[in-house]
């Protein structure tokens, strides 16, 4: 496993950047990693979830640092007002998820509950990808 350190780092970085406004390809990297090393699927799930969760946390804090005169995307604010923290379970959705995390920070939602919901959503998404990949290669 230690000889794969650069691959683990690449997976983490890809997952992190995918959860920010930076472009990322975490799905492709995760599926490739699991396909190449199916015995390490649990570690891949953990590394991708931690990286993506940290990226979501960074997006939350980007929103938190925005001045009040800035207006976060109204659609995201509407979802957060309507569904509360539960809306953050959808933070894995491309483009929408970044806006949700930023809007949650801008609205000053509780950091602990926001982070929990961000991570749960990302954990579930990567689980679906991993188990789908394992079914295909089995």
Q: What is the pLDDT of residue 110?
A: 96
- pLDDT in the model for residue 32: 94
**Residue 51 · residue 12 · CB < 8 Å:** yes
Look up residue 136 and give its DSSP letter.
H
CB distance 56 to 92 below 8 Å: no
Read off the pLDDT of each residue in 116-125 and give the average, rounded to a whole number: 95
**DSSP string across 93-134:** STTHHHHHHHHHHHTT--HHHHHHHHHHHHHHHHHHHHHHHH
pLDDT value at residue 52: 95
User: How much is the pTM?
Assistant: 0.89
Confidence band, pLDDT 50/70/90 cuts, at residue 5? confident
Cβ neighbour number for residue 135 with a 10 Å cutoff: 8
| Radius of gyration (C-alpha) of the chain in whole angstroms | 16
Rounded to an integer, what distance in angstroms lies between the CA atom of residue 49 and that of residue 127?
A: 9
User: 8-39 pLDDT, tens per residue?
Assistant: 999 999 999 998 888 778 999 999 999 999 99
Q: What average pLDDT does range 102-127 have in this prediction? A: 94
């Amino acid at each position: 496993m230690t000889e794969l350190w650069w691959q683990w780092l690449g997976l983490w970085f890809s997952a992190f950047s995918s959860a920010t406004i930076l472009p990322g390809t975490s799905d492709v990297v995760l599926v490739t990693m699991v396909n190449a090393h199916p015995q390490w699927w649990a570690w891949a799930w953990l590394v991708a979830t931690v990286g993506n969760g940290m990226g979501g946390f960074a997006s939350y804090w980007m929103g938190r640092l925005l001045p009040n005169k800035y207006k976060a995307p109204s659609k995201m604010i509407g979802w957060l007002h309507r569904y509360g923290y539960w809306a953050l379970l959808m933070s894995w959705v491309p483009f929408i998820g970044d806006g949700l995390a930023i809007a949650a920070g801008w609205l000053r939602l509780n950091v602990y509950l926001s982070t929990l919901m961000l991570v749960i959503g990302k954990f579930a998404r990567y689980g679906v990808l991993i188990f789908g990949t394992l079914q295909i290669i089995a």
